[in-house]
Amino acid sequence: MSGPASVAVLGGAFDPPHIGHMTMALYALSLGWEQVRVIPVGNHPFAKEMSSFGHRLTMTRMAFAGIKGVVVDSREGSRSGPSRTVDTLMQLRSELPKARLGLVIGEDNLMSVHKWHAWDRIEKMCEIVVVGRGTDSSLPFALPDINSSALRTLMAQGQDISGLVPAAVAEYAARHGLYEGVGSNGVSWGLVGAGRVGLSLAVSLARKGFAPTWIHDPVSIEKHNYFKYLDGLEKGEHVDVVVMAVPDSVAADVAARIYRHHPDSAIVTVGAARPLDEVFASVPQDAKTGMAHPLRAFPDVRPVDSPLFMTLSGHPEAATAARRLFAPVVLRFFEIPTRQVSLYHALAALAANGTAFLASGVSRALTSFAGSREVASSAVVDLMLSSVRAMARLGIASGTTGPAARGDHKALEHHRKALSGNPALLEAYDALLELFRHAS
């Protein structure tokens, strides 16, 4: 008996499966895929905490029961080690050598596919079907912004989730107590500093069901209309963690004030370009202080569009509290010694801000060819974006192009000679070449 002519794979934790997952499968079927294989992940490759595979498989079968063309596939539950999409696709290819294969993913996953194991092989093995997410999507079909994390919290709180999760799934989860205590036993927290970073993290956590208990800022934030505004730290009730999102120049004074009113709370800064002993110079050495720095640029206030990488440092209790607090929006944590915080921040700044410095210098030099600084800047930014997208899709090594990547030493010498009239750019060029050679 021959198998289906085309199979689109829809993978995920399905913890719990919801209307968004079901709509993605229906959308793939509407595009002409003969079968959609819904495959719950076995062991999450990024060690994400999940309900047991058995519970998730049962709920997934309940959610997709009766949808013609959908097959719930349990293969990843019996696989040892982390579940890899590429391994599942290779198995399907061997089982269905003549079938057209596809992979259905949400638009929000596009910026993180470079973190997937062997994404370049996945792209060659199957067609990628992208489903839009949220009202801002430019794709022809987009889902409402529904996520399982927020649904788990709502279910734990006994909130009405009708229309978001199939009734059978909600009843099963409640009967087995799958989400009891989710959100309610999370970390209570307050925010000091309502700037871009602080509010972006607050909104992101609030969307997952972990809004701050209070927010304090020297400038009223009522215009943001996100959370209740309190004009003094002494009015804020006790919380497990106080997140400090203020410039390093005032951090010591702010930390001292936080400690005065909340001596039993962990105090965690999300900045700290300076050493932590300077940031917390006015706080007793045995206080629970530390850093939780997101490796992400925040040019404006908006929720993060994909999970973060975050670096932790400082007092062990502060690091543990920060890990618990930010886990809903973090893909992976790194812990670094306190003495190396400045080195870490320098490297992060070099990656994030170095591109801006380089773009500024190159666009200035390119103006004579482009006719105007505005056109030159737009051209340079477009070029840099295409390079970053290539690295995101293929990995840094495979996504790097140009004479250095090709080993064209003669071209590199021509470049250096041409840049000799601009010592600053030549120095930057040589420094970048040296970095590339060490990395290679």
Contact assessment for residue 200 and residue 301, using Cβ atoms and an 8 Å cutoff: yes
CA neighbor of 277 nearest in space, from 348, 346, 337:
337
CATH 3.30.2010.20 is right for the domain spanning 6-175:
no
> Mind listing the pLDDT tens digit for each residue in 173-196?
989 888 876 654 467 888 988 788
Q: What is the pLDDT of residue 328?
A: 80
Task: List the domain boundaries for the chain.
Answer: 6-175, 189-351, 353-439
Q: What confidence score (pLDDT) does residue 185 get?
A: 40
How would you classify residue 180: left for phi > 0, otherwise alpha for psi between -120 and 50, otherwise beta? beta
Bin 272: left if φ > 0, else alpha if -120 < ψ < 50, else beta: left
Q: CB–CB of 4/31 below 8 Å?
A: no
pLDDT tens readout for residues 302-323: 888 778 889 999 999 999 999 8
Q: Report the C-alpha gap between 188 and 209 in whole angstroms.
A: 11
**What ranges in 65-110 are assigned the alpha helix state H?**
85-95
Question: Does 432 score more than 50 pLDDT?
Answer: yes
Contact 117, 80 (CB under 8 A): no
Number of C-alpha atoms within 13 angstroms, CB side, residue 103? 25
Listing DSSP states for 387-439 in one string gives HHHHHHHH-HHHH--SHHHHT-HHHHHHHHHHGGG-HHHHHHHHHHHHHHHHH
Q: What span, in angstroms and rounded, lies between the C-alpha atoms of 187 and 203?
A: 16
What average pLDDT does the segment 145-164 reach? 83
Burial bucket for residue 419 (CB in 10 Å: 0-12, 13-18, 19+) = middle
Backbone angles phi, psi at 243, to 5 degrees: -90, 125
Q: Which helix (H) or strand (E) holds 168?
A: helix 167-175
Please tell me the predicted confidence (pLDDT) of residue 16. Answer: 95
Per residue in 253-277, pLDDT (tens digit) is 889 989 988 999 999 999 877 889 9
Assess whether pLDDT exceeds 80 at residue 381. Answer: yes
Separation between Cα atoms, residue 90 and residue 395, nearest integer Å: 21
Q: How confident is the model at residue 227, as a pLDDT? A: 33
Beta partners for 290? 268, 314
Contacts of 222 (CB under 8 A, 6+ apart): 229
Chain segment 132-147, per-residue pLDDT in tens? 987 778 888 888 878 8
Beta-strand relationship, 266-269 and 308-314:
unpaired
Task: Take residue 193 and report the two structure tokens written for it.
Answer: 């500093």
Q: What is the DSSP string of 270-316?
A: S--SS-HHHHTTTS-TTS-EEEEEESS--SSS---SSPEEEEEEE-H
Residue 242: helix, strand or coil by DSSP? strand
Give percent of the chain with pLDDT exceeding 70. 93
The widest CA-to-CA distance across the chain, in whole angstroms, is: 75
At 231-243, the pLDDT tens digits run 344 555 788 999 9
pLDDT value at residue 220:
39
Domains 6-175 and 189-351 share a fold: yes
- Reported pTM: 0.56
Amino acid 358 reads: L
Is the pLDDT confidence value at 28 over 90? Answer: yes
Beta bridge partners of 291: 269, 313
CATH topology of domain 189-351: Rossmann fold (3.40.50)
pLDDT at 183: 52
Judged on CB neighbours under 10 Å (0-12, 13-18, 19+), 194 is: buried
What residues have CB less than 8 Å from 87, skipping those under 6 apart?
A: 79
